[in-house]
Amino acid sequence: FWSDIPSDADYLSPMHPLNDPYTPDDTERFLTFEPDSAGWNNIRMAMETALVMSHAMGRTLVLPPEQKIWNLEEEDDSQKSVFGFNDFFHLDAISVEHKGFKVITMEEFLVREAMQGKMVEYGTNTTSYPPNKQTSWDGAHTKPLFDYLRKIGNTPHWEPYDCALAIPSSTEPDAVEELKTTLQSIMDGSYGKPKPTLQEFNSNPTPVDAPMAERMREMVADKKGEGDQKLCLYDKPLQEAKLIHMKSSDGARLLTHFYAFIFFADWKQDLWSKRFVRDHLRYVDDIMCAAARIIEAVREHARKNKSYEANRDEGIYDALHVRRGDFQYPPTQIPADELYEISKDALHQGSTVYIATDERVSNGSRMQGENCVYTFESF
């Protein structure tokens, strides 16, 4: 699944200062973001989008402070209770390996930039310092910090459901204009095809190397913005901003997959970004190894399962992902017996079943009666 492509490590976005003829080579610009306020999967998804954005824009990614994460809190003081993204991903190693990706902590950013008087209120020349000149925010209440970042950064109002973030093929004015005129031709019909709909692309995806207009049609098909509002353009004012800050509220939540939000004019840059995430943004070894140990333990149970003879030597088992605690709405809390009825045709009767869930399956459920069921807590 993972590939190590040496040439990918040297790739620079066309927005990077070393590729931008209008920016001095030693310029450093930043992207900060507010973590999503929901559970880990939403937090991870928004971070992934911010990471791809930072590389696409040629910016240093500033990681938020370590914070508590919903459903990962521990009452036991002997265990870690606040987390940063480096607890889950090899971000520092990725930064070392890739020429076009740089990552720093929030504390480093505040010490090196804000406390040195290098940050001003956006749109003014008024020097602005962090609240109470505080630089360490790990485990602290972060609203004052994020309010400060909103004040000193260009804080675009990008709603992924309304628009696609369009990254031009270069910093030349013609590149931005090409994105605008292409969208206009798609929406007014002058491109020669009707306005795109999601149904058009069901089981009919656009080739990855298709002309820009064809790829744009697919990207904006489900965007709710009207007319030219279907694209959020990364234009000259944004490129020149020292800091871009992405908020997580007020209609600008990055609750999306990066490949459904970020549109690259250059299809090769699009594919590079997808390879970058696929090949490098994976969990740290401690997490991967713990998962591998559980998988091997499940396989060992499957080998001993006398109720299901097929493939016993290989330790074959069935698996389900049942989300519970991070779903807040009653209709999503499907009872175990109903889950069994929905899933039984895909399960092998008598097989070993591993259920990835944050809730124990009831001892009286039909699933446990028909199969050998294990969860994380079984190990």
Is 78 or 121 the better-scoring residue by pLDDT? 121
pLDDT, residue 370, reads 76
Order of strands, sheet of 164-167, starting from the edge strand that comes earlier in the sequence? 231-233, 164-167, 262-264
Q: Whose structure tokens read 């008087």?
A: 117
Contact predicate 182/216, CB 8 Å = yes
Q: Among the listed ranges 56-65, 137-146, 203-212, 370-379, which one has the minimum average pLDDT value?
A: 370-379
pLDDT, residue 153, reads 97
Contact predicate 110/130, CB 8 Å = yes
Amino acid at 126: T
Q: How confident is the model at residue 357 (pLDDT cuts 50, 70, 90)?
A: confident
Which two three-digit tokens encode residue 335? 């009872």
Contact predicate 370/334, CB 8 Å = no
Amino acid at 249: S
Q: pLDDT, tens digit, for every residue of 44-93?
A: 999 999 999 999 999 999 999 999 988 777 666 777 889 999 999 999 99
Three-state secondary-structure class, residue 240? helix
pLDDT at 202 over 90: yes
Q: Read off φ and ψ for residue 145, nearest 5 degrees.
A: -65, -45
β-partners of residue 246 are 33
Q: How confident is the model at residue 12 (pLDDT cuts 50, 70, 90)?
A: very high
Neighbours of 294 (CB within 10 A): 17
Mean pLDDT of all residues in the chain?
Answer: 92
Dmax over CA atoms of the chain, in Å, equals 75
pLDDT, residue 352, reads 92
356: number of CA atoms within 13 Å, CB side? 8
Q: How far is CA 163 from the centre of its chain?
A: 17
Which two three-digit tokens encode residue 163? 């628009």
Neighbours of 357 (CB within 10 A): 18
pLDDT, residue 76, reads 67
Q: How far is CA 377 from the centre of its chain?
A: 28
pLDDT, residue 362, reads 57
Q: pLDDT, tens digit, for every residue of 167-195?
A: 999 999 999 999 999 999 999 999 999 99
pLDDT, residue 252, reads 84
Contact predicate 53/245, CB 8 Å = no
